A and B are shown apart, each in its own frame.
Chain A
Amino acid sequence: MWHRILALIIKELWTNARDPKTRWVVLFSPPFLLLIYAFAITQDVSNVPIAIYNQDMGVESREFIGRLEGSSTFSKIEYLQSSAEIISTIESKSAAMVIQFGPDFSRKLGAGDDVNIQIILDGRRSNTAQILIGYVSQILESYNRERLAERGFSAPTKIVSRIWFNPNLKPIWSAVPSLFAVMTAIVGFMISALTIAREREMGTFEQLLVSPLKPLEILIGKTAPALLIAITSATAMLVLGTLVLDVPVRGSLALLYLSMIIYLASIIGIGLFISSLAATQQQAIVGLFVYMVPAVLISGYATPVENMPDFLQWVAETNPIRHFIVICKGVFLKDAPLSVVFQHSWPMALIAVVTLSSGAWLFRRRVS
């Protein structure tokens, strides 16, 4: 039995290695994409242009603006001359935020009255807008505190924040672990979803089915090479992430790899299942995308699963990507304990068992 499986594994590795296109797609493009995505899809807000419409002539507004100019968050500060310009500035996206100081800003402050400043934000970029509000509030708060201190008062309360796991809030640190999970899934999907459809298209699958190979042996012979290739690719991404992107791995590598094997088994199970249903490679690719796009969307990769409606959260439980993202974030950024890894590993193992066995069952059934 093992000789037959070994023959199948060697064949599978050769076919992937000898086809230049597969070689590129499977081994080289994922680390490459990891680099691109890590830089492109950061959710951090920096280098945004803003605009200021200052009707006030006094010193107070000037000082406040000085603080804004000192921040590295804003790449460029444009000064507007009329309120009409505000509309066009926001509409044309030449600034993400306009800060307006009224004509009596300095006077009122000097008189000790309450005074407002207006900020106008671009709701089309809601995420950026929220973060900008935060920045401006921080600047305003420290400004207020210092003004109070100058007059001998101290602020009643102040916030002292300490950010764990990613103290400098480096966006790449939070992006890479989830990207790593998603990219690993893509590799596993691509190899497994094409493998049976390709053989069926070439007519070699029937050759396998008339050989003494049993469905279980075909299953192992198809799963093991895909697992090996995907782990190789994942290792390349891991090395790139830690060495080039400086993302820490604080947890146990052994736990990461162990859970990754379970994760990939479930991914490959889904891929083989899709592949068994498809008659051609084209159908397999279409089927894969129909599954993969929503799976990534509800994985917690882009938006937190906790924010989704209840039924979607339940659906997300059947999604291996969702579980492995939690494990990855845990192992990369903190030393996640075994209990957390286990809590998210057993659902993946269950998915793997279900999809792999139904894939094996389909091998035999879907012979036209």
Chain B
Amino acid sequence: MKHDTALVTISGVSKLFENANILAISDLTSQIRPGRVTGLVGPDGAGKTTLLRLISGLLRPSEGKLEVCGFDPVKEPNSVHEVVAYMPQRFGLYDDLTVFENLNLYADLRSVTGPQRAATFERLLEFTGLKPFTKRLAGALSGGMKQKLGIACALIETPRLLLLDEPSVGVDPLSRRELWQMVYELVDQGIGVIWSTAYLDEAERCASVMLLNEGKLIYDGPPDALTDRVQGRAFLLSNIEGDRRSVLARTLEKTAILDGVIQGRNIRIVTAKGAITPLPSDLLAGEAAIMASTPPRFEDAFMDLMGGGQKQPSPFLKLQSTNAHQNEIAVEAMGLTRRFGDFTATDNISFEVKRGEIYGLIGPNGAGKSTTFKMLCGLLKPSEGFARVAGMDLQKAPSKARARLGYMAQKFSLYGDLSVSQNMDFFAGIYGLIGKKRREAIETLVSTFGLASYLETNAIMLPLGYKQRLALACAVLHEPDVLFLDEPTSGVDPLTRREFWSHINAMVGNGVTVVVTTHFLEEAEYCDRMALIYRGRMIAAGAPDELKASARSEDIPEPTLEDAFIALVEKDDRQREQT
């Protein structure tokens, strides 16, 4: 934090990818200092990886100049590589080598040999806590352990600058906390660390933040200074009567409200600058509703910087709702078990989802939530147990059951070479919509999502927000009873995420049931109930507020979902150790 000379100086740097005609970085000027964590924060496609690659000399800037530890990464890439360690997003590990072999390989590449190598390994294995796992294949490690090994490999020679590209993706909250502790230790030794992330909440852990959006640096400085913008404007609306989702939709229409999101049973609100704080009764939240001030978050400040989220209610709200069978069971999982060889990916998972509910499957990568999800929507056959959708067994009447469900895969699986209208025609076709019915369904969704001007555009060329709209449109063309969403908004910017959930909330109001997987705990707050899946088992289930309450203690009087997650995971680890 001292006024050392800057480790990296970036002056007027732009990077244009000519083939794709994408301006990944636009006229960026900043400095990165040693001995602290600089957060490189922004949604996918903001230019984070490009900037890291520019700093490490893997890309040449189209314009401007960089200086890294006194070297020019374009002219002296080798000198830069000696002092800079870069951990790319996909670990850079060899899955078929063991932990020890991976370390050996990187030591060979860096020519660290003899007794120095042994000492370095000893120190790094101690530091990362990987000592018991040296003989395990890197491919068999959990997400968190992979990241730790990645960092260990990057630290074979102590660098002056460590670049971490999205180290927390797919990592469970516990490992994430450990990763941060590791990085803080490095920073104390005087190493400069750049931590890139799409999670805005991580910005609060950094000493300094570079906030990127569409290649532009929209904020550069300590996170608190940005959060101060919204000081006194953040509120928690609790004890809401009636449906909190429709209360949120009404709330957002008010000009005094800048932003609002569901948080468990409550709604979190940020008011517009200079606006008078509205009363709970103005928001039709009921007599007993309480509006209390709450500490602002970095994401609130980001929304303020972007001028607030979308204000229009989702057009799905206008559609006719059929709320007749509120207590009907829409999705049922009964003793779902799946084994791959002698590895049990999921072990006896059971739950029920009522009609019109949002149900979340929460857990780190590799915990078994995707396996559960795939068995639920019929992509994977359970070894034991069964899954029912809309009362039909997916194994016994697969085609019929599947006709009742909608599915939106991670990363919007659309046909990139097909136009928007061809994509919609295709999905309408495979769900058996024909003639007038098809035309009407497509017309409705085109106008609902404002896709009319993009009808002839190839799906791959669409802006991210529209891609998401198209993917959702294709998934709901046949008006499914149950909608399956796989990591729907991971890496998506907060604005697009809010828009997405406004549509989902509106559909749920119309009686659609939603099952969603996520490792992104902000997203989990939108769920009515959820199951926490860890190491193949369902270790807890309930409403977000119930899970939070279960973690309440003297140390943490107001636990977040992340606190609850960590507490539950630790408890489970202890229990498994005992047995």
Q: In this assembly, does A19 line the interface, its C-beta being within 8 Å of a C-beta of chain B?
A: yes
Q: In this assembly, does B410 line the interface, its C-beta being within 8 Å of a C-beta of chain A?
A: yes
Instruction: Using CB atoms, name the residue of chain B closest to A4.
Output: B430
* Given A10-B426, A212-B403, A202-B416 contact (CB < 8 Å): yes
* Given A3-B429, A212-B430, A11-B379 contact (CB < 8 Å): no
Q: Annotate B422-455 by CB proximity to A: 1 below 8 A, 0 otherwise.
A: 1001111111101000000000000000000000
* Given A3-B429, A7-B426, A206-B409, A212-B400 contact (CB < 8 Å): yes
A18–B423 Cα distance when bound, in Å, is 13
Contact across chains for A11 and B405 when beta carbons are under 8 A apart: no
Q: In this assembly, does A367 line the interface, its C-beta being within 8 Å of a C-beta of chain B?
A: yes
Interface residues on chain A, size class: 20 to 34
Residue of A11, A15, A214, A367 with most chain B CB atoms under a 10 A cut-off? A11
A15–B428 Cα distance when bound, in Å, is 17
Q: In this assembly, does A211 line the interface, its C-beta being within 8 Å of a C-beta of chain B?
A: yes
A206–B404 Cα distance when bound, in Å, is 16
A210–B434 Cα distance when bound, in Å, is 19
Contact across chains for A207 and B432 when beta carbons are under 8 A apart: no
A18–B484 Cα distance when bound, in Å, is 30
* Contact pick for A210, options B407, B411, B422, B429, CB 8 Å: B407
Contact across chains for A210 and B379 when beta carbons are under 8 A apart: yes
Q: Annotate B381-406 by CB proximity to A: 1 below 8 A, 0 otherwise.
A: 00000000000000000111011010
A211–B428 Cα distance when bound, in Å, is 10
Q: Which residues of B contact A66 (CB under 8 A)?
A: none
* Contact pick for B418, options A18, A212, A213, CB 8 Å: A18
Contact across chains for A211 and B411 when beta carbons are under 8 A apart: no
Q: In this assembly, does B378 line the interface, its C-beta being within 8 Å of a C-beta of chain A?
A: yes
Q: In this assembly, does B512 line the interface, its C-beta being within 8 Å of a C-beta of chain A?
A: no
* Contact pick for A206, options B379, B405, B429, CB 8 Å: B379
* Contact pick for A6, options B379, B417, B429, CB 8 Å: B429
Residue of B418, B426, B474 with most chain A CB atoms under a 10 A cut-off? B426
Q: Which residues of B contact A214 (CB under 8 A)?
A: 398-399
Q: In this assembly, does B17 line the interface, its C-beta being within 8 Å of a C-beta of chain A?
A: no
* Given A3-B429, A10-B426, A10-B429, A210-B417 contact (CB < 8 Å): no
Contact across chains for B407 and A207 when beta carbons are under 8 A apart: yes
Q: Quick one: which of A121-167 are within 8 Å of B by CB?
A: none
* Given A14-B422, A202-B413, A209-B429 contact (CB < 8 Å): no
Q: In this assembly, does A208 line the interface, its C-beta being within 8 Å of a C-beta of chain B?
A: yes
Distance (whole angstroms) from the CB of A340 to the closest CB of chain B = 42
Distance (whole angstroms) from the CB of B127 to the closest CB of chain A = 34
Contact across chains for A210 and B378 when beta carbons are under 8 A apart: yes
Distance (whole angstroms) from the CB of B90 to the closest CB of chain A = 15
Q: Which residues of A contact B426 (CB under 8 A)?
A: 7-8, 10-11
Q: Which residues of B contact A309 (CB under 8 A)?
A: none
A212–B422 Cα distance when bound, in Å, is 19
Contact across chains for A209 and B434 when beta carbons are under 8 A apart: no
Q: Quick one: which of B459-496 are within 8 Å of A by CB?
A: 474, 484
Q: Quick one: which of A1-38 are within 8 Å of B by CB?
A: 3-4, 6-8, 10-11, 14-15, 18-19
Contact across chains for B422 and A204 when beta carbons are under 8 A apart: no
Q: Which residues of A contact B434 (CB under 8 A)?
A: 3
Contact across chains for A203 and B418 when beta carbons are under 8 A apart: no
* Given A10-B426, A11-B426, A203-B410, A211-B415 contact (CB < 8 Å): no
* Contact pick for B430, options A8, A14, A15, A206, CB 8 Å: A8
Distance (whole angstroms) from the CB of B145 to the closest CB of chain A = 21
Q: Which residues of A contact B474 (CB under 8 A)?
A: 207
Q: Quick one: which of A310-361 are within 8 Å of B by CB?
A: none
Distance (whole angstroms) from the CB of B409 to the closest CB of chain A = 5
Q: Annotate A65-109 by CB proximity to B: 1 below 8 A, 0 otherwise.
A: 000000000000000000000000000000000000000000000
Q: In this assembly, does B377 line the interface, its C-beta being within 8 Å of a C-beta of chain A?
A: yes
Contact across chains for A208 and B415 when beta carbons are under 8 A apart: no
A210–B426 Cα distance when bound, in Å, is 14
Instruction: Using CB atoms, name the residue of chain A closest to B398.
Output: A214
Q: Which residues of A contact B409 (CB under 8 A)?
A: 203-204, 206-207
Interface residues on chain B, size class: 20 to 34
Instruction: Using CB atoms, name the residue of chain A closest to B405.
Output: A210
Distance (whole angstroms) from the CB of A124 to the closest CB of chain B = 43
Contact across chains for A4 and B429 when beta carbons are under 8 A apart: yes
Distance (whole angstroms) from the CB of A199 to the closest CB of chain B = 9
Contact across chains for B429 and A8 when beta carbons are under 8 A apart: yes
Q: Which residues of A contact B484 (CB under 8 A)?
A: 210
* Contact pick for B432, options A203, A204, A206, A212, CB 8 Å: A212
A209–B374 Cα distance when bound, in Å, is 11
A124–B323 Cα distance when bound, in Å, is 84
Distance (whole angstroms) from the CB of B44 to the closest CB of chain A = 15
Q: Quick one: which of B515-572 are within 8 Å of A by CB?
A: none
Instruction: Using CB atoms, name the residue of chain B closest to A210.
Output: B407
* Given A3-B429, A10-B426, A204-B414 contact (CB < 8 Å): yes
A327–B49 Cα distance when bound, in Å, is 57
A302–B405 Cα distance when bound, in Å, is 53
Q: In this assembly, does B58 line the interface, its C-beta being within 8 Å of a C-beta of chain A?
A: no
Contact across chains for B432 and A209 when beta carbons are under 8 A apart: no
Contact across chains for A212 and B413 when beta carbons are under 8 A apart: no
Instruction: Using CB atoms, name the residue of chain A closest to B418.
Output: A14
Q: Which residues of B contact A367 (CB under 8 A)?
A: 374, 379-380
Q: Which residues of A contact B378 (CB under 8 A)?
A: 209-210
Instruction: Using CB atoms, name the residue of chain A closest to B429.
Output: A7
Instruction: Using CB atoms, name the residue of chain B closest to A6.
Output: B429
A325–B57 Cα distance when bound, in Å, is 55
Contact across chains for A208 and B430 when beta carbons are under 8 A apart: yes
Residue of B378, B399, B414 with most chain A CB atoms under a 10 A cut-off? B399
* Given A3-B434, A207-B407, A18-B417 contact (CB < 8 Å): yes
Distance (whole angstroms) from the CB of B532 to the closest CB of chain A = 24
Q: Which residues of A contact B377 (CB under 8 A)?
A: 210
Contact across chains for B431 and A211 when beta carbons are under 8 A apart: yes
Q: Which residues of A contact B405 (CB under 8 A)?
A: 210
A212–B390 Cα distance when bound, in Å, is 14
Instruction: Using CB atoms, name the residue of chain A closest to B474.
Output: A207
Q: Which residues of B contact A207 (CB under 8 A)?
A: 407, 409, 413, 427, 474
* Given A203-B411, A203-B413, A212-B430, A7-B425 contact (CB < 8 Å): yes
Instruction: Using CB atoms, name the residue of chain A closest to B377.
Output: A210
* Given A7-B430, A211-B430, A206-B400 contact (CB < 8 Å): no
A226–B378 Cα distance when bound, in Å, is 28
* Given A7-B425, A212-B403, A204-B415 contact (CB < 8 Å): yes
Distance (whole angstroms) from the CB of A26 to the closest CB of chain B = 14
Contact across chains for A211 and B413 when beta carbons are under 8 A apart: no
Q: Which residues of A contact B414 (CB under 8 A)?
A: 204
Contact across chains for B422 and A211 when beta carbons are under 8 A apart: no
Q: Which residues of A contact B430 (CB under 8 A)?
A: 4, 7-8, 208, 211-213
A71–B484 Cα distance when bound, in Å, is 78
Q: Which residues of A contact B427 (CB under 8 A)?
A: 207, 211
Q: Which residues of A contact B410 (CB under 8 A)?
A: 203
Contact across chains for B432 and A19 when beta carbons are under 8 A apart: no
* Contact pick for A204, options B379, B413, B425, CB 8 Å: B413
* Contact pick for A15, options B400, B418, B431, CB 8 Å: B418
Q: Which residues of A contact B379 (CB under 8 A)?
A: 206, 209-210, 367
Distance (whole angstroms) from the CB of A190 to the closest CB of chain B = 16
Instruction: Using CB atoms, name the residue of chain B closest to A204.
Output: B413
Q: Which residues of B contact A204 (CB under 8 A)?
A: 409, 413-415
Can you list 8 A-B contacts (CB < 8 A)?
A8-B430, A11-B429, A15-B417, A18-B458, A206-B413, A210-B379, A212-B403, A367-B374
Known contacts A4-B429, A207-B409, A210-B405, then 18 further A-B pairs from the complex at CB < 8 Å, ordered by chain A residue: A3-B434, A4-B432, A7-B428, A7-B430, A8-B426, A10-B426, A11-B426, A11-B429, A15-B415, A18-B417, A203-B409, A206-B407, A206-B409, A209-B378, A210-B377, A211-B430, A212-B432, A367-B380
Closest 3 CB pairs of A and B: A7-B429, A203-B413, A212-B403
A residues near B (Cβ < 8 Å) are: 3-4, 6-8, 10-11, 14-15, 18-19, 202-204, 206-214, 367
